[in-house]
């Protein structure tokens, strides 16, 4: 009986990790998500707009008429860089739920910041810059919708894998309990 329990425990210890690895390989997309190429283009355009705002020292003023804090512009570039970094990491690991969620949230923050800068540009009679920033913000929001769809698909796949692993675990536990509950069969004398 102890041998049977040991054998079942050994089989479970080997079978579960193998099943998880096999499922990970099946569930992982082989290529980066569809939004990846378009997002890189939008980030390049956002970076160019940021460079233009910083290099031209545009005399932008906030809603109260005070000069726009240069730190606000300086804080914008790290946001673009952060979204780019997350995007590149996701390209290397497209099934990473945490990276996808982080990219979704950071893209939202960046789109909001761009929209705020566009309103500041409009308030300062910089309509070309404002229009460009609104277009970049809108493009980011379209990408964000695609990221959201991908994130929900990824969450669904993960949930299905968790359910399947839970079912397999319950089945193995049931088998182990049955094996332990069987009466000892005496082995024939030698």
Between 86 and 75, residue with greater pLDDT:
86
Mind listing the domains of the chain with CATH numbers? 31-159 (1.20.120.230)
Please state, in angstroms and rounded to a whole number, the distance separating the CA atoms of residues 50 and 137: 13
Between 172 and 70, residue with greater pLDDT:
172
Query: Does position 31 have pLDDT exceeding 60, yes or no?
Result: no
Tell me what pLDDT residue 159 has. Answer: 94
Per residue in 131-170, pLDDT tens?
999 999 999 999 999 899 889 999 999 999 999 999 999 9
Per residue in 96-130, pLDDT tens?
899 999 999 999 999 988 888 888 788 778 888 88
Query: Does position 57 have pLDDT exceeding 70, yes or no?
Result: no
Tell me what pLDDT residue 37 has. Answer: 77
Residue 127, exposed/middle/buried by CB under 10 A (0-12, 13-18, 19+)? exposed
pLDDT band, residue 180 (cuts 50/70/90): confident
Decide if 144 contacts 108 (C-beta within 8 A): yes
Range among 3-12, 38-47, 101-110, 180-189 with highest mean pLDDT value: 101-110
Please state, in angstroms and rounded to a whole number, the distance separating the CA atoms of residues 151 and 99: 10
Query: Does position 22 have pLDDT exceeding 50, yes or no?
Result: no
Tell me what pLDDT residue 6 has. Answer: 40
Residue 20, exposed/middle/buried by CB under 10 A (0-12, 13-18, 19+)? middle
Decide if 181 contacts 5 (C-beta within 8 A): no
Residue 67: strand pairing partners: 61
Residue 61: strand pairing partners: 67
Query: Does position 172 have pLDDT exceeding 80, yes or no?
Result: yes
Tell me what pLDDT residue 60 has. Answer: 66
Tell me what pLDDT residue 64 has. Answer: 74
């Amino acid at each position: 009986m102890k041998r049977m329990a040991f054998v079942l425990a050994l089989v479970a210890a080997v079978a579960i990790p193998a099943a998880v690895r096999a499922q990970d390989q099946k569930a992982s997309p082989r290529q980066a998500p569809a939004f990846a190429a378009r997002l890189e283009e939008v980030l390049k355009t956002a970076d160019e707009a940021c460079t233009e705002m910083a290099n031209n020292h545009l005399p932008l003023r906030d809603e109260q008429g005070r000069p726009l804090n240069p730190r606000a512009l300086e804080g914008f570039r790290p946001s673009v860089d952060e979204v780019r970094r997350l995007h590149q990491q996701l390209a290397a690991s497209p099934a990473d739920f945490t990276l996808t969620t982080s990219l979704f949230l950071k893209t939202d923050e960046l789109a909001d910041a761009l929209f705020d800068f566009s309103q500041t540009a409009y308030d300062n009679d910089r309509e070309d810059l404002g229009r460009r920033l609104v277009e970049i913000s809108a493009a980011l929001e379209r990408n964000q919708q695609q990221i959201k769809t991908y994130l929900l698909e990824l969450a669904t796949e993960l949930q299905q894998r968790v359910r399947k692993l839970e079912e397999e675990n319950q089945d193995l536990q049931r088998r182990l309990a049955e094996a332990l509950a069987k009466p000892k069969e005496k082995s024939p004398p030698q």
